[in-house]
């Protein structure tokens, strides 16, 4: 049963219903955002939207991922329009002023728009979980048959069926109840006090800075923010000073982005790269500013994106197949049972006995153990994965892992170690230079500001490689700390010896700067040529050569920082004002670059190779840069011949989008909604069973939409809530074990389904034929129910059976064609064996053309039970049973025990009570010949079926 999520969202009204409906500015803003002056729609937005809308009604299928949802399109249009407009127009659009809203107006808008929360959620109750575990077609069938059994005074049979239902439902409920209290936790990203500018006063209004809860922020509010603050809604910047924002909650990229109020954007800029728009759920890293809140609550970008959660989960093909079988069996049952009751009645004219016999036949036709076998197999798989340090939240995910043929994975922390390692130190000509490393080391060693991972990487490289730079000979006199506007850090050091080896003086002072390459080059006027031993002015040629060297390094997936120095004369430095950073960090000498790499995990390449051997292809979906993703993928063995980026996908129509997603193995710079659409495209158009491994809030949409959502214990709470499986270790090898376990679970479940349908249909057809020929019941109701009970008990061992090696090498999916074809080829063989038994007993043991009813029922009881027990060994493997392939010991033990009990019953006191009689030894000789013939004919039929199905169909 698929995972139930009871997420309840605020109603998503028209995106801008807080604007006057008759406002012509609003109409032009929303409807004309993508329209050129000649009236043609840019990118075919409305034509594509209408076509997609009508296509959904026509096909009746879910969105295939090729286009944005209507809600996303509204949000995109609104934000792009604001990004492209002047500030004074932004106030006009949201009906606000530069002084802010009054308290009365803010309260009015809060009532109109509701609390500023992206969505509302409730935890699933235990009753919901119990209902989802209970509501299965076969459970309903068993309950109905149990009720009919009690009505006809067949209490033991009714009790048995209720027990089966109880065990099945209890297993499912117990497994999913522990992890059911998982819901969206987006509120943790947006719940904090917010500084808002409001105006008050009856005659003379005064601007006030007040602090309100983020739930009370409304469109039109002016917010003031500083480092550490979260944006309470989608915000159009009004002022900004050195503003740097982290958007990792939306993009997954750890590197922050600069924002500025003065930017004027156009539609070609990706939405999340707009410089003058900040999004709900993101936070300020550094700098300050003010902004106009343009969207709150369910109208924000994050809400529009995440409101699709729970709405695009693909239909479970296995569950659909099970339900189809259920409906077919119910139809067959009603038809056959009705005919059997009528034949029985018109033969003996006993309605009560005929009805009881019909119910017994219905019980024999029903795969009573199906819910129990499925849930036992899944529970066994969950326990096996728990030993591999996996928490299984949704049992059906285990089976889906057996069908999974594509695994989409995030790069950072999954394929990589998620830590920087220094790999090289190069001068401006691209040659390794120790001097570059020396001054980079001194900068990292003496900086007193927060140490970053890159500093630790430099220090570790120096210490582990035996360099002796003697920092004790240096003394720090001052420091210019790092900030996200300059993107560099400088330290001023003093030493008694000249590290440059020239012009001996009493002491020397140097300013050493390192940081983002582009920002370091801005303050460099010179470049050092080590080979020539001279310092020359930076020319266009030098600049071009440095950028070429760096471009080559970045194409290899390396992260680069620049290093520069400046020799400060004592008389000059004492006069400089250290607060003037531009004067101090100027006319510097560019030394070179330091290269870093986030190395792949040692286990990643092996795990991906093992997954590929099992038919699971890997696709990397990341928010990071394309060059870095390609570098990592090459290291772990993922092909990079077809790659793409999120901005490239945005420009494609649906058909081109699906084709690009189908071929690409690396997709970089993806937004959360783009990851969702990629997963949906693979599912709908590619007909793949998709697994997604992610750990960030930006992965939540894809985790929810994937057939198998996989996260890790250290992931964001949202990702863990939506995942089906949680890994306690970030190791892909665990997934290999999960795939194997999923295919084992799927295979054993399919064994039971094939066994039940073939055996049950065959036995019912045989009962019908024998009843018509002999004109009496081949088995009494009690005999039929005992036979069915023993047969069902013997099937409990099926979840502990093993699978052939070839079976677990390829993904296993529910096939609409294979099961009916298998039944048509193999079902008649069972019926022929039953008819052969009838003919043998009739011609060999009848006296004067009359056949003793007790004798025939005893013979037919044993033959039917042995047939239904042994048939499992024929259908469980494509090889020759008992010779080339042997079942697991629990299955063999179950076969022996049930067969022995079935043979012994007619010779026991219980047999006398049930109306059985003793059988001669010759009959058991016939059974040996019968079953040898059955296995021979069955093997031939099975081989022909395999050849026909695999090669022709």
> How many Å apart are CA 931 and CA 834, to the nearest integer?
11
Q: How many CB atoms lie within 10 A of CB 252?
A: 25
Measured torsion, CA atoms of residues 327, 330, 335, 339, in degrees rounded to the nearest 10: 170
Token pair of 606 as six digits:
């092996």
Question: CA-CA distance, 217 to 19, in Å (whole number)?
Answer: 17
Nearest to 23 by CA among 100, 92, 72, 111: 92
Asked if residues 402 and 824 have their Cβ atoms less than 8 Å apart, the reply is no
Looking at the DSSP bridge assignments, the partners of residue 539 are none
Q: What share of the chain is helix, strand, coil (3-state, %, to 5)?
A: 50, 15, 30
Which residues pair with residue 710 across a beta bridge? 693, 725
Q: Where are the alpha helices (DSSP H) in 593-730?
A: 602-613, 626-636, 646-650, 654-663, 672-684, 700-705, 717-722
Q: Which of 933, 894, 871, 707 is nearest to 795 (CA)?
A: 894
DSSP 8-state symbol, 338? H
Q: Please tell me whether residue 750 adopts helix, strand or coil conformation.
A: helix
**For this structure, is 704 an active site residue?**
no
Q: How far apart are CA 703 and CA 509, in angstroms?
A: 55
CA dihedral 294, 299, 300, 304 (to 10 degrees): -150
What are the angstrom distances between the C-alpha of 878 and each of 575, 874, 940?
89, 8, 11
CB neighbour list of residue 692: distance below 8 Å, 6 or more residues apart: 407, 408, 409, 621, 675, 679, 699, 702, 703, 705, 706, 708, 709, 710
- Are 579 and 525 in contact by the 8 Å Cβ rule? The answer is no
Q: At what angle do helices 732-774 and 351-365 cross, to 10 degrees?
A: 150
Strand partners, 284: 245
Check: CB of residue 898 under 8 Å from CB of residue 794: yes
Task: Find the helix or strand (DSSP H, E) in which 293 lies.
Answer: strand 283-295
Distance CA 271, CA 304 (A): 13
Which of 827, 835, 611, 626 minimizes the C-alpha distance to 738? 611
CB atoms within 10 A of CB 133: 24
CA 454 vs CA 419, 425, 445: distances in Å: 9, 13, 12
Per-position DSSP letters for 307-324, written without gaps between them: TTTTT-PPP-HHHHHHHH
Per DSSP, 170 falls in state H
Distance CA 712, CA 724 (A): 11
Q: Which residues neighbour 777 within 8 Å (Cβ) at sequence distance 6 or greater?
A: 344, 357, 771
- Measured CA to CA, the distance from residue 636 to residue 638 in angstroms comes to 6
Residue 340, phi then psi, degrees to nearest 5: -65, -40
And the tokens for 922? 């010759």
- Which segments of 178-298 does DSSP mark as H helices, in order? 248-251
- Give the integer Cα–Cα distance in Å for 616 and 637: 14
Q: Catalytic pick from 400, 410, 598, 721? A: 410
Residues marked active site are found at 410
């Amino acid at each position: 049963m698929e995972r139930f999520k009871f997420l309840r969202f605020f109603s998503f009204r028209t995106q801008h219903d807080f604007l006057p409906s008759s406002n012509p500015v609003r109409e032009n803003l929303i409807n004309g955002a993508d329209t050129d002056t000649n009236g043609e729609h840019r990118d075919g937005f409305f034509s594509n939207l209408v076509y997609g809308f009508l296509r959904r009604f026509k096909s009746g299928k879910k969105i295939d991922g090729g286009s944005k949802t209507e809600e996303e399109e509204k949000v995109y249009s609104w934000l792009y329009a604001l990004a492209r407009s002047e500030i004074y127009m932004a106030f006009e659009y949201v009906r606000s002023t530069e002084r802010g809203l009054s308290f009365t107006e803010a309260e009015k808008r809060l009532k109109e728009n509701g609390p500023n929360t992206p969505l509302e959620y409730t935890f699933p109750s235990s009753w919901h979980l119990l209902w989802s575990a209970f509501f299965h077609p076969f459970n309903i069938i068993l309950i109905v048959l149990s009720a009919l059994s009690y009505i006809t005074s067949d209490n033991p049979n009714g009790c048995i069926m209720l027990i089966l239902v109880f065990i099945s439902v209890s297993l499912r409920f117990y497994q999913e109840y522990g992890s059911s209290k998982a819901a969206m936790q987006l509120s943790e990203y947006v719940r904090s006090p917010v500084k808002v500018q409001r105006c008050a006063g009856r005659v003379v209004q005064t601007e006030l800075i007040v602090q309100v809860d983020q739930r009370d922020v409304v469109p039109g509010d002016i917010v003031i923010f500083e480092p550490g603050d979260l944006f309470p809604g989608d915000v159009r910047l009004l002022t900004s000073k050195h503003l740097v924002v982290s958007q990792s909650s939306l993009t997954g990229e750890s590197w922050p982005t600069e924002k500025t109020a003065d930017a004027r954007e156009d539609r070609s800029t990706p939405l999340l790269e707009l410089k003058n728009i900040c999004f709900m759920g993101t936070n300020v890293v550094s700098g300050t500013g003010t902004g106009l809140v343009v969207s709150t609550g369910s109208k924000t970008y994050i809400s529009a994106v995440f409101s699709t959660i729970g709405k695009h989960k693909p239909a479970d093909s296995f569950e659909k197949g099970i339900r189809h079988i259920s409906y077919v069996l119910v139809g067959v049952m009603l038809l056959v049972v009705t005919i059997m009751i009528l034949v029985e009645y018109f033969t003996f004219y006993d309605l009560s006995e005929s009805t009881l016999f019909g119910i017994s036949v219905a019980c024999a036709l029903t795969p009573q153990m199906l819910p129990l076998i499925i849930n036992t197999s899944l529970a066994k798989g969950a326990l096996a994965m728990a030993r591999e340090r996996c928490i299984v939240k949704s049992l059906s995910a285990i089976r889906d892992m057996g069908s999974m043929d594509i695994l989409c994975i995030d790069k950072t922390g999954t394929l990589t170690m998620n830590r920087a390692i220094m790999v090289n130190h190069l001068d401006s000509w691209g040659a390794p230079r120790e001097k570059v490393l020396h001054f980079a080391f001194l900068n990292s060693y003496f900086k007193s500001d927060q140490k970053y991972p890159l500093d630790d990487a430099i220090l570790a490289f120096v210490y582990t490689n035996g360099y002796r730079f003697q920092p004790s000979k240096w003394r720090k006199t001052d420091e210019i700390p790092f900030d996200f506007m300059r993107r560099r850090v400088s330290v001023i050091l003093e030493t008694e010896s000249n590290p440059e080896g020239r012009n001996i003086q009493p002491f020397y002072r140097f300013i050493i700067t390192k940081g983002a390459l582009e920002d370091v080059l801005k303050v460099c006027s010179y470049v050092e040529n080590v080979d020539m031993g001279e310092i020359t002015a930076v020319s266009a040629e030098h600049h071009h050569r440095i950028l070429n060297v760096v471009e080559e390094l970045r194409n290899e997936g390396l992260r680069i920082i620049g290093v520069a120095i400046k020799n400060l004369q004592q008389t000059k430095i004492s006069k400089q004002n250290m607060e003037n950073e531009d004067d101090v960090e100027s006319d510097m000498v560019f030394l070179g670059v330091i290269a870093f790499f986030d190395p792949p995990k040692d286990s990643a390449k092996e795990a991906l190779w093992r997954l590929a051997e099992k038919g699971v292809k890997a696709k990397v979906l990341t928010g990071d840069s394309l060059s870095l993703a390609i570098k990592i993928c090459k290291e772990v063995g993922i092909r990079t011949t077809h790659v793409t980026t999120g901005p490239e996908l945005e420009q494609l129509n649906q058909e081109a989008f699906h084709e690009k997603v189908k071929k690409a193995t690396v997709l970089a710079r993806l937004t959360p909604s783009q990851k969702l659409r990629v997963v949906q495209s693979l599912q709908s158009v590619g007909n793949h069973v998709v697994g997604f491994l992610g750990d960030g809030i930006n992965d939540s949409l894809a985790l929810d939409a994937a057939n198998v959502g996989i996260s890790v214990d250290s992931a964001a709470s949202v990702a863990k809530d939506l995942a089906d499986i949680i890994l306690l270790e970030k190791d892909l090898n665990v997934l290999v074990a999960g795939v194997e376990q999923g295919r084992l679970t799927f295979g054993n479940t399919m064994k039971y389904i094939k066994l039940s349908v073939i055996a049950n249909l065959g036995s019912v057809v045989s009962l019908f034929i024998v009843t018509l020929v002999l004109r009496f019941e081949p088995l009494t109701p009690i005999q039929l129910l005992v036979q069915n009970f023993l047969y069902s008990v013997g099937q409990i061992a099926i979840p502990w059976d093993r699978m052939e090696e070839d079976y677990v090498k390829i993904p296993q999916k529910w096939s609409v064609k294979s099961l009916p074809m298998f039944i048509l080829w193999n079902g008649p063989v069972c019926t022929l064996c039953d008819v052969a038994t009838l003919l043998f007993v009739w011609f060999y043991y009848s006296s004067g053309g009359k056949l003793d009813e007790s004798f025939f029922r005893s013979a037919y009881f044993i033959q039917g039970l042995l047939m239904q027990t042994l048939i499992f060994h024929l259908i469980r493997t494509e090889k020759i049973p008992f010779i080339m392939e042997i079942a697991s010991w629990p299955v063999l033990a179950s076969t022996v025990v049930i067969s022995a009990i079935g043979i012994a019953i007619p010779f026991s006191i219980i047999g006398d009570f049930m109306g059985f009689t003793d059988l001669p030894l010759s009959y058991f000789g016939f059974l040996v010949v019968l079953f040898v013939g059955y296995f021979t004919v069955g093997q031939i039929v099975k081989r022909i079926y395999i050849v026909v199905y695999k090669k022709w169909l």
